[in-house]
């Protein structure tokens, strides 16, 4: 996950603008975004566009456990840049929000005091900014995984134009919504609208109101199944399966590579835990063996598949049948990008992905250690990432060969980043008053009036043409009669 700050520029007219800032704090880094939207809303929801962005930090705020004050400091550079985007006259009325995701959720589970100290640090930084920050606990908080999934779904469908909000004519021609698959560092989310005949259990349902329409979406967040935490759990599994031996074969790492890690870097709660006190001072050496079949077998040990629960994905979690198209982003996209699968298209067959993953997993370290745009750490972990993604999508979510065809892998749509911040702000805009509101007609009513106008226009043209034909016929008849009388 990432830590992102989003700035929204709300346009009421060419003279009146309203702004807001959103901060997304994930497990791996910090980023700022700038958006703008018309305060004169469409059926109660703003129409926004991305204006600019800023990376604030290469670390998630959850890493500042030993020095919480640095968490707030890490935001200040991008806060200054956001202030440069928003006119001084509007800064005091522009609200700022912060949402911390899986990294802080996990920290809160094991160390609530450190979690509180870090949140207080970032709240102090936001309070010292020029933006409107009047309710610290609601404007800067840890959001739950289902919220993150729902906001990601809103973002994907908004940016893809699935709500019929960019043009009134789209109201009658909009396509079905797209499911959202997000893979971060500490958690992963799946969110989509199931078939019409499915009644969702309350704990798996989110009701969203956007542009005058209500959507009942299925969403679930799997904690500890993001790439960073899943890999940590995998290494812990190998250590325990080898009875805490310090020399361990890693079938998912390239042969010729040796990675050494100490006990505390592997067994980090809440995703990994060990009661073995005698091993706490040990360093474990993982030697790669480039064995894709054994890698897949070991990765699947991280999942609980219950054949007696056909309506479950894994870990006894309910999931309705997949429905419609899906867009996979964040970690999903970066994995297939590193496997060179997104060069020509955002879509590719399942067997192409599986073959690319297997070929990579068979390569030794000297063939993958210098790949362009892939760091050494990424090269070591890419085989695991691909197998984890395969298990999650195919065996977990049930994207079989046919259903896989509904998947597309994207990082941006028309230059806009995919993530949860756009969805968060759109959902929040439902409760933000529009400044200088103007009376606007409903989109459907506008389209109906437009069609009626076109219909009346065509009828008028038809009536005029018909009248001209009648007039010509009458003139011709008059001329014929005149000629007849003249000859008598």
Catalytically active residues are 148
- Helices 350-361 and 376-390: crossing angle, nearest 10°? 140
Measured CA to CA, the distance from residue 87 to residue 92 in angstroms comes to 10
What's the 3-state SS for 111-147?
CHHHHHHHHHHHHHHHHCCCCECCCHHHHEEECCHHH
Measured CA to CA, the distance from residue 175 to residue 163 in angstroms comes to 8
User: 3-class SS at 218?
Assistant: strand
Closest to 299 in 3D by CA, of 343, 376, 237, 249: 237
Numbered residues of the known binding site for ATP:
185-189
Q: What is the sign of the dihedral through the CA atoms of 201, 179, 2 and 4?
A: negative
Closest to 433 in 3D by CA, of 17, 39, 14, 21: 39
H-state helical runs in 140-220: 145-159
Phi, psi for residue 392 in degrees, rounded to 5: -65, -50
Measured CA to CA, the distance from residue 185 to residue 183 in angstroms comes to 7
Cis peptide before 343 (omega within 30 of 0): no
State how beta strands 179-183 and 326-330 pair. parallel
Measured CA to CA, the distance from residue 255 to residue 315 in angstroms comes to 32
Measured CA to CA, the distance from residue 164 to residue 40 in angstroms comes to 17
State how beta strands 283-288 and 247-250 pair. parallel
Structure tokens at 238: 């190998």
Numbered residues of the known binding site:
185-189
Cα-based angle 156, 157, 163 (whole degrees, multiple of 5): 160
């Amino acid at each position: 996950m990432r830590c992102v700050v989003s700035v929204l520029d709300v346009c009421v007219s060419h003279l009146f603008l309203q702004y807001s800032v959103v901060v997304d704090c994930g497990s791996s880094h910090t980023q700022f975004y700038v958006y703008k939207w018309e305060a004169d809303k469409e059926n109660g929801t703003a129409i926004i566009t991305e204006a600019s962005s800023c990376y604030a930090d290469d670390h998630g705020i959850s890493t500042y456990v030993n020095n919480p004050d640095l968490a707030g400091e890490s935001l200040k550079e991008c806060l200054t840049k956001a202030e440069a985007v928003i006119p001084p006259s509007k800064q005091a009325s522009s609200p700022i929000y912060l949402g911390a995701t899986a990294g802080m959720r996990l920290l809160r589970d094991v160390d609530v005091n450190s979690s509180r100290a870090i949140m207080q640090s970032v709240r102090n930084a936001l309070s010292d900014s020029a933006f409107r920050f009047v309710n610290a606990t609601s404007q800067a908080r840890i959001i739950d995984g289902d919220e993150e999934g729902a906001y990601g779904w809103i973002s994907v469908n908004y940016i893809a134009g699935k709500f019929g909000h960019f043009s009134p004519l789209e109201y009658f021609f909009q396509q079905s919504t797209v499911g959202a698959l997000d893979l971060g560092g500490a958690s992963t989310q799946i969110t989509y609208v199931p078939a019409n005949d499915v009644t969702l259990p309350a704990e798996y349902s989110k009701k969203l109101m956007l542009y005058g329409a209500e959507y009942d979406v299925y969403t679930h967040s799997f904690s500890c199944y993001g790439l960073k935490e899943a890999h940590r759990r995998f290494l812990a599994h190998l250590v325990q399966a080898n009875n805490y031996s310090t020399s361990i074969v890693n079938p998912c790492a390239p042969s010729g590579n040796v990675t050494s890690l100490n006990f505390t870097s592997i067994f980090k709660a809440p995703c990994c835990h060990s009661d073995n006190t005698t091993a706490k001072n040990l360093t474990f050496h993982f030697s790669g063996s480039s064995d894709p079949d054994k890698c897949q077998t070991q990765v699947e040990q991280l999942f609980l598949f219950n054949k007696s629960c056909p309506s479950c994905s894994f870990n006894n979690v309910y999931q309705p049948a997949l429905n419609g198209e899906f867009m996979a982003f964040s970690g999903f996209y970066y994995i297939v990008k590193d496997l060179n699968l997104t060069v020509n298209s955002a879509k590719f067959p399942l067997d192409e992905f599986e073959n690319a993953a297997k070929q990579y997993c068979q390569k030794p370290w000297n063939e993958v250690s210098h790949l362009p745009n892939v760091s050494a750490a990424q090269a070591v972990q890419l085989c695991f990432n691909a197998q984890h993604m395969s298990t999650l999508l195919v065996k977990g979510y049930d994207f079989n060969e046919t259903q896989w065809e509904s998947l597309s892998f994207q990082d941006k749509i028309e230059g806009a980043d995919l993530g949860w911040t756009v969805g968060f702000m759109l959902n929040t805009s439902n409760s933000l008053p529009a400044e200088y509101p103007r009376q606007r007609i409903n989109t459907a009513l506008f389209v109906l009036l437009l069609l009626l106008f076109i219909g009346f226009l065509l009828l008028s043209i038809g009536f005029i043409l018909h009248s001209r034909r009648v007039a010509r016929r009458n003139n011709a008849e008059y001329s014929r009669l005149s000629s007849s009388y003249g000859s008598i």
